[in-house]
Amino acid sequence: MSVNLLLTQIVNGLGIGMIYFMIAIGLSIIFGIMHFINIAHGAFYLVGAYLCYALVSATGNFWLALALAPLAVGVVAWLAEPGVRRLYDLPASLQILATLGLALVIQEAVILIFDPLGKNVAAPAGLRGAAFFGSFVYPKYRLFVIVFTAAVAAVLWFLLERTRYGAVLRAGTESMQTVELLGIDISRIFSLTFAVGAALTALSGVLAAPIRGVEPFMGVEALSIAFVIVVIGGIGSFTGALAGGLLIGVVQSVMTTFWAAGANIMIYVAMALIILVRPHGLLGRA
Amino acid sequence: MITRRTFLGTTLTAAIASPAVVTRGLAAEQVRLCTALSLSGPFASAGQPAEAGTRLAVSALAKDYGLDVSLTMIDDEGNPGRAIPKLIVALQQGVRFFSGAVLSNVGLPMSAEVSNGGGVYVSSVGADEITGSACRRSTFRWPVPSYGAMRQTIVPLIDKHPETKRWYTITPKYVFGEAMLREAQNIFKERNIEHVGNSYHSMTETEFSGYLTNAAAAQADVLAILNFGPQSTNTLRQAADFGLKQKMKILLAWSAGTEQYAEIGSDVLEDVYVGAQYDAAIDSPGNRRVVELFRKNLNVTPSYAMVNGYVTAMLLMEGIKAAGSTDPAQVIKALEGRKYEGPTGDEELRAFDHQCIKNYYLLRGKAPTKKKDKDDYVDIISFGKSFPDAQHSDCKMT
């Protein structure tokens, strides 16, 4: 294998990793702050992608979909959070059952509203095709996704590390009771966190739509990737989700050259190894 | 000398044996058909159009055949573990005529169960085994298996572009992909083509950029995607994103037809070669009738999945009518070697392995500006029939 090919696969893996980070960060925040196992996380991704498809079909404007679809999912999640709240105190097994049911309802609703056939979502006109850098070729739209995701990550980092809301969230991952004793309205924090997590996941669905199309079962794939990244990065850790996403992306991409048939398996092997070495993830805390 | 007694005897026998009386006899007896299709789950995108085709065949043709047909639809969920118990219940309830299955992993055990239950099965699946090593007296198959699909796509593409000497393949690691890869490699050897690489991937893969990077690095002239369904759509879409259409020819050897082309989109499909079992633009009397029927009754241009459902149900009814009986043994006998005018032209259910001998098509994606209507995605480039003969077939009929 040439060095050029290896470098190409690494760069490609970083691109995939940024998309994976976007899929996982919402789950990481919700899981980390609220200790709520949300199997319906993949459904937010699904709904975001389908809203993108519907808006692009209706208006032909991808940018409108990029702005409106996450906002719509975030608002619905914010409104729905008080209803979901009663699940927080239930055992993990019941949380899984309830949210799995919700995920299936959303998936079947998508089939009823649209149909089971996959749909194509075209990338915006200026971002179609590939950019050529000598022998290195990369899709323009994926380059946009990397830059856009990096910008979203920077904003998120600022929000989580440099604002009062972020400080409350970070404190919440350590001890929610302490935060509550400090006089902070925890229910508002939960609503906002749930809405932000859902909106970010829907945003990843919108970004993924022109790359892989939309189909009713895409949420399942997103959920499994998100859980792997959250476990690898550490629950509730922003930088952990970023590191986990990039690591998984690079492992998957590079392995397609060494052992293509096992590229997917290696994602889970990497997860198992990290759990063995660092049970709380790369950047998670005990 | 003909006596009154022999005259009455002869005419009565002839009357009993005549189609009109047979048909009247059959009409009195309800014929129960059962079709297993993926109506939910990831392969519902193929199962639901096939269901529409099957129902249309029954509603439009049963009367012409003089049959009173009841149709039971089984949702196989793309899962043999779920499908086979439902099938066994249908057999226990007395159903003897079966069609369908989207996936080979459902179609193969279905073939065995129907055989054990004394029924007749006209299959829709693509695995070579159905009419090869796992062939059965009770099973017939309409689609061309992977052998013919490879022969009728790779060979004409090589002939059309003799400058393409280096081929790269992307293959799912399971029985159907392996069968296509094996045949592709045989052709590469025969035609002195350099197979510069193959990437296997799992059946759950959705990210193909790594494999496509390998294909680009191998400096292939042609990328052959030896897969079907949603994965092949994703591979093709991502290949276009990575600029592979500018660097090499792309062949999707086994396409699902119109529904898949719509999912891919004309901007991606343009100039891509695809293999297909059927296309609505086929110029044959049989196809003109089928297209008109679908347009009149369902207001759609039929896709491969729809026509597959339609033809497999039609063949069962045609066999029953030809046999003049609902006895499965008689129906099998009537279908063996049967020639008919099908949607792809003259078609024949070959006697020794029960494989339908029909055309397979090489198509090329049209530019969006050249589409005549919304379903006009491809041009037919070539077509033909390729099947292993009896000497080279793995079928040993039991």
Interface test with B, best of A19, A121, A250, A256 (most B CBs within 10 A): A256
Confidence of residue B330 (pLDDT cuts 50, 70, 90): very high
Report which of B137, B61, B88, B86 is spatially closest to residue B351, judged by C-alpha positions.
B137
Instruction: Give pLDDT, residue B28.
Output: 62
In this prediction, residue B26 carries a pLDDT of: 58
Q: How far apart are CA A24 and CA A224, in angstroms?
A: 10
Contact call for residues A48 and A204 (beta carbons, < 8 A): yes
Same domain, B369 and B234: yes
Task: Residue count of chain B, please give it.
Answer: 398
User: Could you tell me if B48 and B84 lie in one domain?
Assistant: yes
B390 in a domain, yes or no? no
Please report residues of B whose CB lies closer than 8 A to that of A138: 242
Q: Averaged over B223-233, what is the pLDDT? A: 90
Based on the fold, state whether residues B84 and B188 are members of the same structural domain.
no
Query: Looking at the domain assignment, is residue B391 inside a domain?
Result: no
CA distance A268 to chain B (A): 13
Concatenate the DSSP letters of all residues of B329-395 into one string. Answer: HHHHHHHTT-EEEETTEEEEE-TTT-BEE--EEEEEEPPGGG-SSTT--EEEEEEE-----TTT---
The count of other CB atoms within 10 Å of the CB of residue A36 is: 21
Domains of chain A, by residue range, sit at 22-217
To which residue do tokens 């998936």 refer?
Answer: A107
User: How far out from the chain centre does Cα A83 lie?
Assistant: 23
Coil, strand, or helix at residue A155?
helix
B261 in the same domain as B294: no
Which domain range does residue B242 map to? 147-281+360-384
User: Do residues B234 and B310 both lie within one domain?
Assistant: no
pLDDT of the residue at A264 = 79
Both B25 and B141 in a single domain? yes
The enclosing domain of B133 has a CATH number of 3.40.50.2300
The pLDDT profile of chain A, 286 residues, written as one tens digit per residue, is 577 788 888 888 898 899 899 989 988 888 877 788 889 999 999 999 999 999 999 998 999 999 999 999 999 999 999 888 888 888 888 989 999 999 999 999 998 898 877 788 888 988 988 888 877 788 899 999 999 999 999 998 898 888 988 888 778 767 778 888 888 887 888 888 899 999 999 999 999 999 888 988 889 888 988 999 998 988 878 888 999 999 999 988 888 888 877 777 888 888 899 889 888 888 776 5
B137: amino acid identity, one letter? R
* Phi and psi at residue A285, to the nearest 5°: -110, 150
Q: Can you give the pLDDT at residue A245? A: 92
| Nearest-by-Cβ selection for A253 from B200, B210, B267 | B210
Q: Are residues B173 and B33 in the same domain?
A: no
Strand partners, B251: B224, B273
- Give yes or no: residues B183 and B51 share one domain: no
Say if residue B262 is in the same domain as residue B158.
Answer: yes
**Predicted pLDDT at B325:** 93
CB contact under 8 A, B200 and A128: no
Region B123-135: mean pLDDT is 91
B120-123 and B139-141 strand pairing: parallel
- What token pair was written down for A48? 């975001």
Flag whether residue B199 sits within 8 Å of chain A, measured between CB atoms. yes
Structure letter (DSSP) for residue B270: B
Please state the domain count of chain B. Answer: 2
Query: Does a structural domain hold residue B127?
Result: yes
Q: Which pLDDT value is given to residue A1?
A: 59
Domain assignment present for B8: yes
Which of A116, A122, A253 is closest, CB to CB, to B265?
A122
Could you give the CA distance from residue A36 to residue A90 in angstroms, rounded to a whole number? Answer: 9
* Antiparallel, parallel or unpaired: β B166-172 and B222-225: parallel
Same domain? For B123 and B9 the reply is yes
Distance, CA of B221 to chain centre: 29
Query: What is the per-residue pLDDT across B77-121, written as a single tens digit (0 to 9) for each?
Result: 888 999 999 999 999 999 999 999 988 889 999 999 999 999 999
Q: Is residue B392 part of a domain?
A: no
pLDDT for B23: 47
Q: Which residues contact A138 (CB under 8 A, 6 or more apart)?
A: A11, A12, A15, A130, A131, B242
CA distance A48 to A204: 8
Q: What is the mean pLDDT of chain B?
A: 90
**Interatomic CA distance for residues A280 and A284, integer angstroms:** 5
Check residues B255 and A280 and name the one with the higher pLDDT: B255
* pLDDT for residue B13: 46
- Option in A111, A141, A215 nearest B230 (CB): A215
* Nearest Cα to Cα of residue A213 among B237, B10, B339: B237
Q: List, for residues B7-36, the tens digit of each pLDDT value.
A: 444 444 444 444 444 444 555 678 999 999
Are residues B275 and B315 both part of a single domain? no
Select the residue of A12, A132, A260 nearest B200 (Cβ to Cβ): A260
Task: Give every CB contact of residue B186 below 8 A, 6+ residues apart in sequence.
Answer: none
Residues of B in contact with A254 (CB under 8 A): 210
Q: Are residues B298 and B368 in the same domain?
A: no
Read off the pLDDT band of B230 (50, 70, 90): confident
Q: What is the CA radius of gyration of chain B?
A: 22
Q: Compare all CA atoms of chain A with the CA of B217 and give the residue at the minimum distance.
A: A5
Q: How far apart are CA B129 and CA B135, in angstroms?
A: 7
- Residue position matching structure tokens 């995939």: A16
